Amino acid sequence: MSTLPQYKLDLLRLCLTHRILTFGTFTLKSGRTSPYFFNAGLFNTSSLLSALSTAYAQTIASAFPSDPSSSSPPFDLLFGPAYKGIPLASTVLLSLGHLDGSTYGDLSYAFNRKEAKAHGEGGNIVGASLKGKKVLIIDDVITAGTAIREAVEIIRREGGVVVGIIVALDRGEKVASEAERRGEKTDGREEEGRCSTVEMVRREVGVRVEAVLTLEDVIRGLKEAGGVGEEEVRGMEEYRGRYGA
């Protein structure tokens, strides 16, 4: 019997089938060489986006449960940072409504423009007003945390309160050192004691940061579901051993 929820296993199988999760040698923004790469931009068909948004909805319902006394979720609005967060906010909102219309039917969503409009309704927020709203930020991944910090700043400036953050994948890696970002070779000692980027954002913003899939989920799921060779799994475990927080 699987130790992962079925929706996580189903999503992982789709990621493998459609090469959203691939294996090889990849240079990340951090300068690290990774044995795997997760390309959320490939959730680009109706069925794939539906599967992803359903998995987000399941994770949100579990990680951010409703108040038992009122059946109200702990957030009023989904916010998708431009650009990748925009389709996620709208499709996950629909999936939450399908999951439990009585609980999530009155939720709203919004996203930001990269450049503010000077005509029409103006401003740089599209969708529902953020003022006085409890906001859950939704994005694909947290790499350096820059986009999330910008989203938090926008929401607070508009009068909203950030209550949580959810992403598709948490790589669970320690924050990269300056030497790594410059492309210099390191022996791993520089990473000792460093937290992950997700943990760093959690501390800075002061809210929960959850993920549909973590690196631990991926490794466990690959062992249970198969679909890749032992070499690929071993490569991920070795990478986790060196860079895992």
Q: Which residues are catalytic?
A: 117, 119
Q: Which residue's structure tokens are 């319902």? A: 61
Beta-strand pair 134-138/123-127 = unpaired
What is the C-alpha separation between 68 and 47, in angstroms, rounded?
33
> 172 and 216 in contact (C-beta within 8 Å)?
yes
| Alpha helices (H) along the chain | 6-17, 46-63, 85-99, 101-104, 146-157, 178-181, 197-205, 215-225, 230-243
Beta-strand pair 123-127/108-117 = antiparallel
Q: Residue 205's CB: how many other CB atoms inside 10 A?
A: 19
41-50, Cβ contacts within 8 angstroms, sequence gap of 24 or more:
41/84, 41/140, 42/18, 48/14, 48/18, 48/20, 49/87, 49/91, 50/91, 50/95
Amino acid identity, position 69: S
